[in-house]
Structure 1
Amino acid sequence: MAEQPRLLEGLDPEQRQAVAAPRGPVCVLAGAGTGKTRTITHRIAYLVQRGLVVPRQVLAVTFTARAAGEMRTRLRALGAGGVQAQTFHAAAFRQLRYFWPRVHDTGMWQLMDNKFRLVANAANKLGLSTEREDVRDLAGEIEWAKSSLIGPEQYPEAAARAGREPPVVPAQFTRVFAGYEALKNRAQSLDFDDLLLHIAAILEDQPEVAEEFRAQYRSFVVDEYQDVNPLQQRVLDAWLGPRDDLTVVGDANQTIYSFAGASPRWLIGFARRFPEAAVVRLERDYRSTPQVVELANRVIGAARERPAGTRLKLVGQRPDGPRPDFAEYDDEAEEAEAITRKIAALAGRGVPLSEIAVLFRVNAQSEVYEQALSDAEIPYQVRGGERFFARPEVRQAMVVLRGAAAADDEVDDLPGAVRDALREVGLTDEPPAGGAARERWESLIALVELAEELVAAVPEAGLRRYAAELAGRAESQHPPTVEGVTLASLHAAKGLEWDAVFLVGLVEGTLPIQHADTDAAVEEERRLLYVGATRAREHLHLSWALARAGGRRFRRRSRFLHGLVPDDHPAALPVRGRQQQEAQPRAKATTPRCRICESALSGTLEIKLGRCSTCPSDVDEDLLVRLKAWRGERARQLKVPAYVVFTDATLTAIAEQRPADVGSLVGISGIGASKLEKFGADVLALVQGERP
């Protein structure tokens, strides 16, 4: 009992109300950045420490392995380590492995990693295309149908009612769907949706199994409740039975997975289903500055229809920060290069690259940013691509680290021991210039940084403890932070946050997406913009380009920006006024030219070096060596990666052009007022052969 007050300390009044609510139905409407994970983990620990429930009787479910892993970590720290915190599918898999042999008198069927092969076989038998994209679309539609509790026979009518556009005509899709199910059953295999379907059916049809299950689990918590689909709700109902010991947490304003069957209707209707439920609203935003919060409120406040359960208005709790800024560009390449320069400026001011994200509506928009960041030698990671622990270099590293831990657990310097072990798989002291080698290096150095984090928390940790930490993170898909800019779709960014967020490509046809042809679909696109804006803690930049790549400037900025762009911004002018303004003669931009042959320069690297790629380099090798040694020392002093001081390309440009004064120095691309103030005197001294 003495621990109870500690669990309520540091909570705001609404969070405290949710944590201390009586055991029974509780609905927490939690806006972005309002501390929902803190609230629900404290609630679980509070119930445990008051003796109202024992840890093993609590089942907490969420939607990603990472979120479940974070919840388990927090619960352990709060003294509730025995609580089961899992995804819906992981929980169902565990339960099926236990109950299947009793119900079916056989071993459990094999779980498939991927349904692609069987769907392709079913399509091929019908003479349909088996191209990767076509099969992927068929598989996605099967997943929607099963998660919506729709079988092959019901599909045509249900799809028409839901306004679906199937990848093939409904009659053909029905046959593909039925063929896939037949092939799967013949192979005695299960897909991920089957895990939920089978456990729900067992609990519904086997009273003795349901009784045993409900004796084990007495209290349930569901995170991100706005994202449940009909199949998941059916499983939850089967888990609960006639009981009501359920806490749900969600935000209908962040419903962005309707295309996959998710619906906020159970969150919105929770109080009708449980009239005695405690309903708590969390609206104090601890993540973002008031300026970011104000813009996010305006985005979602413009929605056409907002049911009662969605009318949360965030109130920023952080100190003031910069106003969100807006920018319009002629084409996507110009937009990407400008964003890259802004990222470099933020990094120069001390914002870690891992705290910067570029978010877009569709993954195809990533390519131009990958190119621009590569040209500027700024490392990045694409979220939603290959999983961190599936990367070949990480798998190799974990084998080496397990071997090192088995050989000698006692080390005086854990990060140093990890670094030494990883030299076997290619870790070097200095990062490679770029490309795949740089990405590999970033993955390995992230493992070293994880060792530094572990030692800070557990000073006595050795290699075995570290290897166990890695194994636990791999199992829960909780990767370490990789030092690089994050590129991600708005969907992949859900649940994450950064100091600086760039929302890019905000044009009609992309956001809202072209196929959003109903009011409901358009409003979901608005919620995507809201989710993107609420990922930013301090810096928020919104931009759009009027053409793809030097083509005709026919695009229009997103309708969701109307009323958000400041009145004094050029893009806020009415269309006619903008046309008149654009008709005025423009000052011609000076085309950068090669200092050797006078040819026009193109590309970030050529402009930075001041010469075209075909002209010979006249670099002063001795000066370049001195510059790199100085950069390394300054980076260590400032505790930042070396490229934050100057990139290799900038140092090469200095060593080639050998600027003699401030004017010549700032003429080099990438050296602005901030870099000049911090490093200009040192660089000029080095060029003159003097000590900085």
Structure 2
Amino acid sequence: MTVFTPSLEQSQAIQCEGDMVIVARPGSGKTSVLSCKVRNLVSKLRPFQGIIAISFTNKASDELERRCKADAFDVKSSFFGTIDDFCLREIVFPFARQLMPLDAELETVKVGELPESVRRMLPATPIQNGSVANTAEFLPFLQEALAQGFVPLEAVGMLASHVIDQSLACQKYLTARYCGVFIDEYQDSGYFQHQLFLKLKTLGLTAVAVGDGDQSIYVFAHKDPRYLLALTVPGSGFAYFAITTNFRSHPSISDFALRLLNPNHPIAPTNEMRVFIKTIDGNQRAMGTWLETAIPHLMQHFQVESAGRVAILCRHQHSARLIADHLNLAHHLVEVAPFETTPSAEASIYSDLLSLRYDQQLTAETLIERAGAFKLASQERRALRRAILSCRSCVEGDLVTTLLDAAIRLTGRQSSPAGTMELRAICADADKLRRFQSPSRDAVQIMTLHKAKGLEFDIVFHADLYDHVIPTRLYPPNTFQVIFANEIQCLNLHYVGITRAIKACVLMTSTYRINGLGEVKNGSPSQFIGRNGTSAIPIPW
């Protein structure tokens, strides 16, 4: 394990052994702090005990688990994964049948994929407005879905909350198995995740939340930073710690980003400003052409050896695609999985198997645990592992058959006709298959700002800094007033983009822009440029 020498703020957070909330700035070493805290607690536990470590994405969860297991450290019976994985594996699947009839085989689906007879039982209250108080309204719908073999993904948190409240056996199991719960990116928690966290604390688990309200960028998905902020107030029952130093970014980048948020944030004098701005004559296509020269030049200037350490971040996917199509340098465009008609749970399995084919870091064991197939007998597990790894080694002509076989073994269910058809089409399309390939270390990374969350790069080109784009303007009817839609969320997104940069950040705009409909619009600069007196250095060439 790499030697980690904590700062004073980090040490204080690591040494606290009770319930706590950590507000950690970008680049402040929160994953190192979390892994130290996990290892400290786990080292005192019995082999059948462990901790719950919840991360926002599978990738973040895998990284935290890797650090906790460094140097062959035994994490015992700990859980690492997303909140939905935990709710399904440890609460819903084993204990929901005590409260209501369940089909022998359950599968997760989106509400829109449920049979019409089940959807008709939804109450008038939208699922996103569900709470502990009105869960009873949703129980007939949930009971019917479970009886027919379906777990609605949008209601997993609600269902888990109901089960843990009503099942004494579930409560006893969780307290016997787990001694602590750690939730990262708490600013992106939803209502029921917050309720579950508080419930686990009430049951006696040591509760640790880590987040940063200024990095909240998922309000559109009903994630809310207010739950993190509620833990920081006096009387919440949580000790509050702040880790404020950005150890990742050059000080001029960190100061620039913080000044965007706070007009009173002091900017330390520097002779080496690392935030630049470039206005391109043209649109996003012209950006791609300019970047062909700019990227090698800045890589040489800032001594960046690998193009994989350079990222182009965009507000929207169509801008990322336009730039990528006109960038004649090796690049990797990060796009969502191309499944559109395949049921969501099935598409997730196919995506994992295709990712494993191209990503040597992804393991069969990880996929087995994600699918909840970890309780298999040794011989069955070995056979499943071989089937999964065959997806990596098989020839292209056998890829579809091999993927289908592995998916059936993982889930215990036959593939849907729609899923099989779409999988065949994707495996025959080289462009779509590239979406699953791991980026080369010599390829510039191109992605949306949301996809960049949790990542870091030596040089960041932050594009899409247009008026009407970040933030979006709204014009209420019958009024001359202009409203910026989700201004704070857009500012947080801008902040996240800048703080991905380690050595240099280039803010980019252009005289024109192409919108999502392909229309050419004026490229007026974003209102965030120059906010609170921030001043980036113009690039004249």
1:171-570 to structure 2, matched below 5 A, reads 184=145, 187-243=148-204, 245-272=206-233, 274=235, 277-302=238-263, 323-332=274-283, 333-346=285-298, 350-373=304-327, 376-385=328-337, 390=351, 425=396, 483-515=442-474, 521-548=486-513, 554-563=522-531, 566=535, 569=538
Q: Determine if contact 1:289/1:321 at 8 Å carries over to the other structure.
A: no
Higher relative contact order (CA 8 A, sep 6+): 2
CA offsets per residue over residues 102-149 of structure 1, 9 Å max, x none?
4446455522344443489999x9xxxxxxxxxxxxxxx966445898
Partner AA of 2:330 in structure 1: I
2:208 aligned partner, one-letter code? T
Question: Which AA in structure 2 matches 1:46?
Answer: N
* 1:425 CA drift (Å): 4.9
Compute the RMSD of aligned alpha carbons. Answer: 4.4
CA offset at residue 331 of structure 1? 2.5
Within a 5 Å distance, the mapping from 1:54-203 to structure 2 comes to 56-77=49-70, 79-82=73-76, 83-95=78-90, 96-104=92-100, 106-107=102-103, 110-118=106-114, 144-145=128-129, 184=145, 187-203=148-164
Q: Is the 8 A contact 2:35 2:68 kept in 1?
A: yes
Q: CA deviation at 1:214?
A: 2.0
Q: 1:362 to 1:121 in 2, by over 3 A?
A: farther
Alignment partner, residue 38 of structure 1: 32
Residues 328 and 109 (structure 1), Cα distance of their counterparts in 2 relative to 1, 3 Å cut: same
Query: Secondary structure in 1 aligned to 2:21?
Result: strand
Q: Give the corresponding residue for 1:642.
A: none
8 Å contact kept, 1:146–1:193:
no
Change (3 A) 1:507 1:151: farther
What is the one-letter code of the residue matched to 1:372? H
Alpha-carbon separation, structure 1, partners of 2:496 and 2:336: 17
Unaligned runs of 5+ in 2: 339-347, 365-388, 398-428, 476-481
The answer on whether the counterparts of 1:354 and 1:483 sit within 8 Å (CA) in structure 2 is: yes
Q: 2:9 aligns with which of 14, 20, 30?
A: 14
CA distance in 2, matches of 1:24, 1:108: 40
1:520 and 1:53 map into 2 onto residues whose CA distance is 51
User: In 2 relative to 1, CA 551–495 (structure 1 residues): closer, same or farther, beyond 3 Å?
Assistant: closer
Aligned residue identity for 1:362: H
The amino acid that maps onto 1:74 is R
**Larger Cα-atom Rg:** 1
Q: 1:7 to 1:537 in 2, by over 3 A?
A: closer
Alpha-carbon distance between aligned partners in 2 of 1:219 and 1:486, rounded to the nearest angstrom: 37
Q: Give the TM-score normalised by structure 1.
A: 0.57
Distance 1:442 1:106 in 2: 37
Q: Any conservation in 2 of the 1:118–1:183 contact (CA below 8 Å)?
A: no
Does structure 1 conserve the Cα–Cα contact (< 8 Å) formed by 2:275 and 2:537?
A: no
SS of the aligned residue for 2:473 comes to coil
Conserved? CA contact 1:381–1:482, under 8 Å? no
Question: Between Structure 1 and Structure 2, how many residues are aligned?
Answer: 454
Secondary structure of the structure 2 residue equivalent to 1:340:
helix
Alignment check: 8 A CA contact 2:54 2:82 kept = yes
Kept after mapping to 1: 8 A contact 2:42/2:51:
no
Q: CA 1:337–1:270 in structure 2 vs 1: closer, same or farther (change >3 Å)?
A: same
TM-score by length of 2: 0.71
Instruction: Please say if residues 283 and 314 of structure 1, whose CA atoms lie closer than 8 Å, have aligned partners that are also in contact.
Output: no
Equivalent position amino acid for 1:59 in 2:
I
CA distance in 1, matches of 2:470, 2:115: 31
- Cross-structure match for 1:641: none
CA distance in 2, matches of 1:542, 1:206: 53
Cα pair 1:384 1:488 within 8 Å, conserved: no
**Pair 326,20 (structure 1): closer, same or farther in 2 beyond 3 Å:** same
Q: Is contact 1:397-1:425 (8 Å) kept? A: no
What is the CA-CA distance between 1:216 and the residue it aligns to?
2.2
Quick one: distance in 1 between partners of 2:141 and 2:488? Answer: 34
Equivalent position amino acid for 2:295 in 1: I
Q: Could you tell me which residue of structure 2 aligns to residue 474 of structure 1? A: none
- Aligned residues with identical type, % of pairs: 20
> Which deviates more, 100-109 or 207-216?
100-109
SS at match of 2:311: strand
| Cα 1:548–1:538 shift into 2, 3 Å | same
| More helix, by proportion | 1
Deviations 1:631-680 (A, max 9, x none): xxxxxxxxxxxxxxxxxxxxxxxxxxxxxxxxxxxxxxxxx9xxxxxxxx
Q: 1:87 offset after TM fit, Å? A: 0.9
AA paired with 1:246?
Answer: A
Give the partner amino acid of 1:326: I
Q: C-alpha offsets along residues 320-373 of structure 1, whole Å, 9 cap, x if unaligned? A: 965211011232122232123322434566542221111111222122112112
Letter in 1 for 2:25: G
Question: Partners in 2 of 1:276 and 1:178 — Cα distance?
Answer: 31
Tell me how far apart the structure 2 counterparts of residues 315 and 248 of structure 1 sit (CA, whole Å).
Answer: 31
Report SS of the residue matched to 2:39. helix
Provide the rounded CA distance (Å) in 2 between the counterparts of 1:567 and 1:390. 40
Instruction: Write the distance in 2 (CA, Å) between the matches of 1:521 and 1:442.
Output: 30
Q: Could you tell me which residue of structure 1 aligns to residue 385 of structure 2?
A: none
Q: Which amino acid aligns with 1:492?
A: K
Q: Deviations over 1:360-408 (max 9, x none)?
A: 11222122112112xx142322244459983887666799x99xxxxxx
